Amino acid sequence: MADTATATAVDHHDDHGHSESFWSKYIFSTDHKIIGFQYLFTGMAMGLIGGFFSYVFRMHLAFPGSEVPFFGIVSPAAYNSLVTNHGTIMIFWVAMPVLIAALGNFLIPLMIGCDDMVFPRINRLSYQIFLISAIVLIASFFVPQGGFGGAWTAYPPLSSEAEYNGTPFGAPMWLIAVTLEIVAFLLGGINFITTVMNARAKGMKLYDIPMVVWMIVIASILFMASVGPLVAGAVMLLFDQTLGTGFFDPAAGGDPVLWQHLFWFFGHPEVYVVLLPAMGVVIEIICTFARKKLFGYKMILYSSVGLGILSFFVWAHHQFISGVDPRATYLFTTTTLLISIPVALMLFAMIGTLWGGSIRFTTAMLFALSFIAEFLIGGVTGIWLGSSGTDIYLHDTYFVLAHFHYTFVPIAIIGTFSALYYWFPKMFGRKLNEFWGKIHFWGTIIPFNGIFLPLFILGAAGQHRRIAGYTAYPDLYTENFQDLRVFATGSLIVLILFQIPFFVNFIVSLKRGQKAGPNPWNANTLEWVAPSPPPHGNFGDDLPQVYRGPYEFSVEGREEDYWPQNEPDPGPSETSK
Amino acid sequence: MLEYFLPRASSFAGSIDHLFDLITYLVMFWFLLTMAFFFYVVFRFRAKAGQKAQYVTGEKHKEKMAVEIPHYLILVCDLVILIYTFKVWHEVKIDMPEFDEEVRVISQQWAWTFEHAGADGILDTDDDIVTINELVLKKDTQYKYELQALDVMHSFSIPVFRLKQDSIPGRNIYGHFKPILEGEWDIQCAEMCGYGHGFMPARVKILPADEYDAWIAANTPADAANTAYANNDESELKEASNNG
């Protein structure tokens, strides 16, 4: 393994020498695949923490005042900290590392046919900063007065003054952790964009790039363009917390609403930063398992670029009722409803890809199909909230919560699982067990709807988010509503239990799974040319050459229903298009 | 659909509910159509032995149109929603009708203070009635409210009114409502405001004119102690809420 890697002798391989120790191979590696795994496993571990938090506060909501097994009594301070850090972890330490960093690192060099990222050491630095950020966040739960509890949006003055939030150490640590995490992803993003633009295999034109790679690149550009204001705001907020400045303090001439603008200017594009890679994953999988060419490659690509641009002009829909000039909502409600068009276009193109296909229901495909169906629910429920008129009522209710979980769970959970079932053979050389995969699939999808459909009803009935105790509200503490809360909590526990087969399957399949050849799914893209698992350097001495687009399935006149990108044309009569 | 859960207790609640219903009909039409089509496609094109998939690029004019035309129709639906949204938003948040009564709403960690204008209908006079966590309103009367925050952001939310407005320290935010139904309902804080965020419940009590007048008469302060509130003195208010 190490020999073939050093044979390709690019400068960064010199770090390793011939005999790699455990440390240099797995901990301080510059190999993009190992860094991808580091992100993947860190993200999954953080996902367990975030999932545990949701279990604790859902139990508290279903059975207020009673002791939660494995946790104890949930105090209001603990409740706020749990919901705050659940949101923060799931977005910054699960969705982003798994979807962008893990998949981007693992897939980009393999799919564009090169031996590694163009900046392998920056890549390693990116993960190391990310790891530190995760440690800082976890440490913040254990400092005196506990972790930050001012919601993941961290609106000042609550977040800026310990007198109000009660967490003099937790709040700054939370902010430092988030800022470090952002720095890590800036480094990663630079790497992704540069690699894709400069290191593609010979013959791979822009329209031959697999869609998931495009999506990660567009997401990285969106992230880099939107995150600047947030970093500036985070530093200002940190100064407000620790040095007593007054950027967001009205008594000192500051403006707390400024933070909301800076936060959401990043926060809304951020949704698309994680959405696009998940869409890319789903596109790869439905093309492979429907044995179909992607319907409207350019249409999807241009839609996602348009979506990205439009996403910079919708941020204030999070602030309709926050005291901004009410006339501004005319603009933002318009852009928000318009953004439904490119998203719908992409979903329709996915369904168009299925049309006329020959669909194989592997576990990866089931997850990919359920992404389309579930994300559609998340997408359409956004219309009620994007309309400023109904948002007056629905803002900050459980309707919002259910809506964005119907977008983020398909993205971060369903998208990730479909990617894992699909690329596991490439990552580890063996397939995940399909039988247990399907049990895991149904055990995830059914309870997922069981959690959040009742919450739409609670939200429509006027129940607000982040309320630790409904017992104080006679209109909300009724038997019917409590039944819905118990049902949602029960569904969550079922969902968590059904993750056990997945983890067992994952570990057992690493050693005993069915051996996969280089191309177990008969797919076209370049990662399936490399051996499974690919060695350091990926393709050995001969980097692949590209002759056609990534989705040439079921081409008429060919015996096989797939046509790998690197296979030369048989004769001069056929063109690569 | 919302009146199934909560009555409409303000003059504009009906408008918001109608907008909600309009969106529900339009969205549900497209949603169910898309879902039905999706499941039909997944079922119809399942893999069968000896049958190869079709080769379709989606780049031909006819194929592009098949995807684009539904989107023009969706765009039309978006426009319908937008126009009605603008109308509702203008009614609730921009338009400021002539008002008969004034009330000041002060939010703080973790209580609501309501300053009723009292018998003379003018705020900051000696006959103001200050209550903690209880807002008393006269039915069928156009109100103007003034919203303040003393420490962090809160959000003044009365679900039966379909009304919500964040309060911001350092700003006075104005709005309006007109209660149209007698009864008593919850007021919630809708913006995370610290440990006690879930524990600052208040109630809105809507009384008919005669009962309201009786309430005014019974609660109008006789002594001058309450004038402190009229000057909107922060420390006194905090103290008052702590006692309350």
A554 within domain boundaries: no
Q: Are residues A21 and A86 in the same domain?
A: no
Question: Can you list the residues of chain A whose pLDDT is less than 70?
Answer: 1-20, 571-577
**Nearest-10 Cα torsion for B63, B66, B68, B69:** 150
Q: What is the pLDDT of residue A21?
A: 80
Q: Are residues A18 and A140 in the same domain?
A: no
Q: Are residues A411 and A313 in the same domain?
A: yes
Give the integer Cα–Cα distance in Å for A465 and A82. 13
Query: What share of chain B has pLDDT > 70, as a percent?
Result: 91
- Whether pLDDT at B152 is above 50: yes
Q: Are residues B213 and B111 in the same domain?
A: yes
For residue A19, count other CB atoms closer than 10 A to its CB. Answer: 8
A positions 331-370 inside 8 Å of B (CB): 333-334, 337-338, 340-341, 344-345, 347-349, 351-361, 369
User: Contact A295/B57, CB-based, under 8 Å?
Assistant: yes
Copy the structure tokens of residue A232: 């500036």
> Looking up tokens 């797995």, which residue turns up?
A26
- Whether pLDDT at B16 is above 70: yes
Q: Are residues B128 and B82 in the same domain?
A: no
- Whether pLDDT at B229 is above 90: no
Copy the structure tokens of residue A557: 């006149």
Give the integer Cα–Cα distance in Å for B165 and B173. 9
Q: Are residues B41 and B140 in the same domain?
A: no
What number of CA atoms fall less than 13 Å from residue A447's CA on the CB side? 19
pTM of the model: 0.91
Last residue of a domain, one of A528, A546, A565: A528
B positions 113-142 inside 8 Å of A (CB): none
Q: What is the pLDDT of residue A12?
A: 45
Q: Are residues A431 and A509 in the same domain?
A: yes
Interface test with A, best of B16, B19, B56, B181 (most A CBs within 10 A): B56
Q: Are residues B69 and B117 in the same domain?
A: no
User: Contact B19/A390, CB-based, under 8 Å?
Assistant: yes
Q: Tell me how long chain A is.
A: 577
Q: Which of B89, B163, B192 sits opposite A466 (nearest CB)?
A: B192
Helix, strand or coil, per DSSP, at residue A569: coil
Q: Are residues A9 and A91 in the same domain?
A: no
Q: Are residues B201 and B233 in the same domain?
A: yes
Q: Are residues B81 and B137 in the same domain?
A: no
Q: Are residues A6 and A108 in the same domain?
A: no
Higher pLDDT, A374 or B122: A374
Tell me the count of A-B CB pairs closer than 8 A: 283
The residues near A540 (Cβ < 8 Å, ≥ 6 apart) are A4, A7, A8
User: Contact A360/B20, CB-based, under 8 Å?
Assistant: no
User: Contact B190/A396, CB-based, under 8 Å?
Assistant: yes
Give the integer Cα–Cα distance in Å for A500 and A487. 21
Give the integer Cα–Cα distance in Å for A144 and A141. 9
A559 within domain boundaries: no
Closest B-chain CA to A351: B38
Q: Are residues B113 and B220 in the same domain?
A: yes
Query: What share of chain A has pLDDT > 70, as a percent?
Result: 95
Task: Domain count for chain B, please give it.
Answer: 2
State ipTM: 0.90
CATH code for position A431: 1.20.210.10
Q: Are residues B25 and B140 in the same domain?
A: no
Q: Are residues A11 and A134 in the same domain?
A: no
Structural domain including B80 reads 2-94
Q: Are residues B123 and B239 in the same domain?
A: yes
The DSSP H or E segment spanning A501 is: helix A499-512
**Nearest-10 Cα torsion for A161, A163, A165, A169:** 70
Asked if residues B187 and B204 have their Cβ atoms less than 8 Å apart, the reply is: yes
A421 CA: distance to closest CA in chain B (Å): 20
The DSSP H or E segment spanning A111 is: helix A103-112
Q: What is the pLDDT of residue A19?
A: 61
Task: Domain count for chain A, please give it.
Answer: 2
Q: Are residues B59 and B174 in the same domain?
A: no
The DSSP H or E segment spanning A40 is: helix A32-62
pLDDT category of residue B56 using cuts at 50, 70 and 90: confident
Give the integer Cα–Cα distance in Å for B111 and B102. 20
Last residue of a domain, one of A528, A547, A567: A528
A positions 235-254 inside 8 Å of B (CB): 250-251
User: Contact A345/B37, CB-based, under 8 Å?
Assistant: no
Highest mean pLDDT among A129-133, B44-48, B71-75 belongs to: A129-133
User: Contact A556/B82, CB-based, under 8 Å?
Assistant: no
- Whether pLDDT at B208 is above 70: yes
Structural domain including A494 reads 31-528
Asked if residues A99 and A45 have their Cβ atoms less than 8 Å apart, the reply is: no
Q: Are residues A278 and A414 in the same domain?
A: yes
Query: What share of chain A has pLDDT > 90, as a percent?
Result: 85
When the pLDDT of each residue in chain B is averaged and rounded to a whole number, the result is: 88
Q: Which residues of A touch B31 (CB under 8 A)?
A: 376-377, 380
CATH code for position B201: 2.60.40.420
> Looking up tokens 């440990």, which residue turns up?
B195
Give the integer Cα–Cα distance in Å for B61 and B50. 30
> Looking up tokens 């919850």, which residue turns up?
B186
Q: What is the pLDDT of residue A571?
A: 64
pLDDT tens digits for A509-539?
A: 999 999 999 999 999 999 999 998 999 889 9
Interface test with A, best of B80, B89, B91, B167 (most A CBs within 10 A): B89
Asked if residues A186 and A219 have their Cβ atoms less than 8 Å apart, the reply is: no
Cα–Cα distance list, A275 to A55, A216, A266, A455, B179 (Å): 25, 10, 14, 22, 43
Judge whether B72 is closer than 8 Å to chain A, CB to CB: no
Copy the structure tokens of residue A65: 């005042």
Helix, strand or coil, per DSSP, at residue B146: strand
Q: Are residues B120 and B199 in the same domain?
A: yes
